[in-house]
């Protein structure tokens, strides 16, 4: 799998990383061992900085997985702020509940269900939305996100460089379809006139935008 930036740069950044606490470290190891996709740690740090800058009262996460990013977000929220996070995998929800309990957080609300069904039924707006779900659903989830995002709200989207395969070049057969989906999504994304957005070469590629 190609690196988005050079390996020596990644190694250098890793050498500067302050040690995560025991729970975060264990979640990263668990996700790696069980091959459960979670947010890259560099992207997670960027997301945490956005939480500190924006100071959102309401956050929506689309794709909980084991609650790695949910916990990192929740820890940076101000008092009385909270995060709603949507997950359709019952197994992931069970794992997430265990980690959230360990983290001793009460500002995370896990919503079980398919985001494509859940999001149209939500009746509140959000200050920040984090999209990290099935790539084939990205376009529809993005449009739902725009409807739920407040004016001047922040949208944070993961996997827009898709392991480096979104860029032109040789793509392994198993990544051909997903890479094509991401390329089409990225083209649609940058020409939106309702949101000011950039794609950043952080982690696996982050879309960072502000709704107009």
The answer as to whether 122 is a domain residue is: yes
pTM assigned to the model: 0.93
pLDDT: is 77 or 173 the higher one?
77
pLDDT band at 5 (very low <50, low <70, confident <90, very high): low
Measured between alpha carbons, how far is 161 from 201 in angstroms, rounded to an integer?
8
The reply to whether 127 falls in a domain is yes
Crossing angle of helices 22-34 and 90-103, rounded to 10° = 160
- The pLDDT of residue 4 is 52
Does residue 2 sit within a domain? Answer: no
If we measure between CA atoms, which residue out of 7, 48, 56, 3 comes closest to residue 24?
48
Is residue 195 within 8 A of residue 209, CB to CB? The reply is yes
Task: Locate 72 and state its tokens.
Answer: 């990192």
| Residues counted in the chain | 212
Phi and psi at residue 70, to the nearest 5°: -55, -45
Q: How many domains does the chain have?
A: 1
Question: Does any domain span residue 22?
Answer: yes
Residue located via tokens 């890479």: 179
Asked whether residue 46 is domain-assigned, the answer is yes
Contact 158, 39 (CB under 8 A): yes
1: in domain: no
Tell me the average pLDDT across 69-98.
Answer: 98
Give the span between the Cα atoms of 12 and 17, in whole angstroms: 9
Q: What is the pLDDT of residue 9?
A: 80
Report the pLDDT value the prediction gives residue 170, as an integer from 0 to 100.
87
Structure confidence at residue 118 (pLDDT) = 98
CATH classification at residue 110: 3.40.50.150
In sequence order, what DSSP letters do the residues of the chain get, joined into one string?
Answer: ---SS-HHHHHHHHHHPPPPPHHHHHHHHHHHHHT-----HHHHHHHHHHHHHH--SEEEEE--TTSHHHHHHHHHSPTT-EEEEEE--HHHHHHHHHHHHHHT-SSEEEEES-HHHHHHH--S-EEEEEE-S-GGGHHHHHHHHHHHEEEEEEEEE--SSGGGTTSSS---GGGHHHHHHHHHHHHHHHT-SSEEEEEE-STT-EEEEEE-
pLDDT in tens, 135-156: 999 999 999 999 999 999 999 9
CA angle 161, 35, 68 (to 5 degrees): 75
Give the range of the structural domain holding residue 169, as residue numbers without chain letter: 7-211
Indicate the pLDDT class of residue 113, thresholds 50, 70 and 90. Answer: very high
Across the beta sheet with 82-87, the strand order is 108-112, 82-87, 58-62, 126-131, 149-157, 206-211, 195-200
Confirm whether 25 is domain-assigned.
yes
């Amino acid at each position: 799998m190609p690196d988005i930036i050079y390996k020596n740069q990644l190694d250098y950044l890793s050498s500067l990383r302050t040690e995560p606490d025991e729970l975060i470290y264990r979640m990263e190891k668990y996700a790696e061992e069980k091959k459960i996709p979670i947010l890259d740690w560099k992207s997670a740090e960027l997301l945490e900085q956005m939480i500190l800058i924006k100071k959102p009262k309401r956050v929506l996460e689309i794709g909980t997985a084991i609650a790695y990013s949910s916990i990192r977000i929740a820890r940076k929220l101000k008092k009385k702020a909270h995060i709603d996070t949507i997950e359709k995998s019952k197994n992931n929800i069970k794992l997430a509940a265990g980690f959230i309990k360990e983290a001793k957080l009460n500002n995370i609300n896990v919503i079980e269900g398919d985001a494509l069904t859940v999001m149209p039924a939500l009746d509140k707006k959000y200050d920040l939305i984090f999209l990290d779900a099935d790539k084939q659903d990205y376009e529809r989830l993005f449009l739902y996100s725009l409807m739920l995002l407040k004016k001047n709200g922040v949208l944070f989207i993961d996997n827009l460089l898709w392991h480096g395969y979104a860029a032109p070049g040789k793509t392994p057969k198993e990544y051909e379809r997903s890479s094509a989906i991401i390329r089409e999504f990225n083209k649609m994304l940058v020409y939106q006139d309702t949101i000011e957005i950039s794609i950043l070469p952080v982690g696996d590629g982050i879309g960072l935008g502000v709704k107009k």
